[in-house]
Amino acid sequence: MTTLFVAKESRDGETRCAATPETVGRYVKRGFKVLVQAGAGEAANYRDADFSDSGAEIISDFATGCTQTDLVLKVARPTVEEAGLMKKGSLVVSFLQAVQDPESAKALFGAGVGSFAMELVPRTTLAQKMDALSSQANIAGYKAVLLAACELGRYFPLLMTAAGTVKPARVVIFGVGVAGLQAIATAKRLGAIVEATDIRPEVKEQVESLGGKFIEVKSDEDGEEASVYAKEASDDYKKRQAEAVTASVAAANVVITTAQVPGKRAPMLVPDSMIAQMQNGAVIVDLAVEQGGNVEGSEVGKIVVRHGVHIVGTPNLPATVPQHATDLYARNVQHVVDHIVPKKENDDLELRLDMEDEIIAGSIAFLNGDVRHAPTAEALNLEVAKS
């Protein structure tokens, strides 16, 4: 197996690419033959000629690429139509997110195609270079603040002018993961007063280190081991959180919600009753809108106005910063390829899916006609492989 195929994304709004001329050059140096579908990098400002100069062969269509390789690199999961064109037994490295689009995931499974799901990569030290969720969430947190600033009808920073003083905007952020931390940092750079809340009390120091104020809520379990993963909170915790943040939200000009639970619907954090208490003209950006939303009434791809509050439901924010999102994602994918096609003394390039390997075992959703990931099996109403 010496050939890689970099597919052009076909889903509406997906501007990213799974490779860059830089990563193509690294693949070629290792001995891979790299096929790139024509136009794959255009939306990210990479021309076909840039890939050719790095050693890739440009091919015209998806079907042709799939016939020449067993390893396909993408950003978004293949569509139903694309799954039907892929070779049985081949492997696609991409986001899968079966909960969001079970039809496409089932089509991939039904075609006998394996899936290395980028969102399933364990967040461990060894896998850090492959962690596309983090690299893309960083961009989403940054862009969420810019969207809010554009939608908000006032300044973010404190300004003292001859015409009078402008008070700084107040921003509240739900969720202090990668996206939340970047949102805090970006809002502070724009001059806002920032508060944040999270189910994990241990993130307080991170919030304060960025100049934000942490809204403290007693956690469900004192002394619980810290985790980088989002999790579902208890109903009692959600009630306590709502009580603690209501005053801050009511005074806020901007609210950004980032809470998502892998494999499940996003938790509802900002109900209609809370929105009704916000200032007229305030803005909410719901980063979880594609997963069901953290905000009551948010809609994918729309700006909804409720009680005078503008609720922004722009999906796939990393794709709105396509060049850097592509650069980072492509490097994540390259490290995945290096891991599943490891270097050998004889320079043979063989796909090695060792299910005893923590990263591989945790990231494979489908393989050889079996579902290997329990939450994916549950989402698709399929049985998980027993071994």
Is 135 assigned a catalytic role?
Answer: no
Active site residue 47: no
Identified catalytic residue from 97, 104, 131, 291:
131
Structure tokens at 199: 């189910």
Can you tell me whether residue 117 is helix, strand or coil? strand
Catalytic residue among 68, 134, 248, 279: 134
Known catalytic membership, residue 131: yes
Closest listed residue to residue 76, CA positions, set 104, 49, 112, 55: 104
Indicate whether 304 pLDDT > 90. Answer: yes
pLDDT band at 228, cuts 50/70/90? Answer: very low
Quote the tokens at residue 346: 């004889």
Query: CA-to-CA distance for 283 and 288, rounded, in angstroms?
Result: 15
Decide the pairing of beta strands 283-286 and 254-257: parallel
pLDDT of residue 100: 86
The domain made up of 3-131+322-380 has a fold known as Rossmann fold (3.40.50)
Rounded CA separation 148/183 (Å): 11
User: Choosing from 229, 236, 265, 354, which is the catalytic residue?
Assistant: 229
Count Cβ atoms below 10 Å from residue 106 Cβ, excluding itself.
17
Coil, strand, or helix at residue 136? helix
The residue-averaged pLDDT of 318-340 equals: 98
Highest-scoring range by mean pLDDT, 146-150, 236-240, 341-345, 366-370: 146-150
CATH of domain 137-319: 3.40.50.720
The closest of 250, 272, 351, 385 to 32, measured between CA atoms, is: 351
Higher pLDDT, 346 or 121: 121
Domain regions of the chain by residue span: 3-131+322-380, 137-319
Catalytic residue status for 128: yes
* pLDDT tens per residue across span 307-318: 999 999 999 999
Calpha distance 305→303 (Å, rounded)? 7
pLDDT digits 0-9 by tens, 156-185: 999 999 999 999 999 999 999 999 999 999
- Is 360 buried (19+), middle (13-18) or exposed (0-12) by CB count in 10 A? buried
pLDDT at residue 225 tops 50: no
User: What are residue 133's phi and psi, to 5 degrees?
Assistant: -55, -45
pTM reported for the whole predicted model: 0.91
Fold identical between 3-131+322-380 and 137-319? yes
How confident is the model over 268-283, as a mean pLDDT?
96
* Cα separation, 203 vs 216, whole angstroms: 10
Output the average pLDDT for the chain. Answer: 92
What pLDDT is stored for residue 9 in this prediction? 98
Mean pLDDT of the region 208-229 = 70
59 phi/psi in degrees, rounded to 5: -120, 160
Tell me which of 10, 128, 248, 323 is the catalytic residue: 128
Sorting pLDDT into bands at 50, 70 and 90, what band is 385?
Answer: confident
Of 11, 30, 123, 240, the active-site residue reads: 123
pLDDT of 226 reads: 44
Report residue 246 as tokens: 């209501």
Run of H or E residues at 276: none
Whether 123 sits among the annotated catalytic residues: the reply is yes
pLDDT tens, position by position, 47-87: 999 999 999 999 999 999 999 998 999 999 999 999 999 99
Asked if residue 107 has pLDDT above 80, the reply is yes
- pLDDT band, very low/low/confident/very high, at 232 (cuts 50, 70, 90): low
Q: What tokens does 240 get? A: 């306590």
The whole-number average pLDDT for the span 43-48 is: 98
- The answer to whether residues 353 and 367 touch, using CB atoms and an 8 Å cutoff, is yes
345 pLDDT band, cuts 50/70/90, is low
| Confidence band for 2, pLDDT divided at 50, 70 and 90 | confident
**Minimal CA–CA distance to 364: which of 119, 147, 131?**
119
Percent with pLDDT over 70 in the chain: 94
Whether residue 223 is predicted with pLDDT greater than 50 in this model: the reply is no
Q: Provide the CA 291 distance to its chain's centre, in angstroms.
A: 11
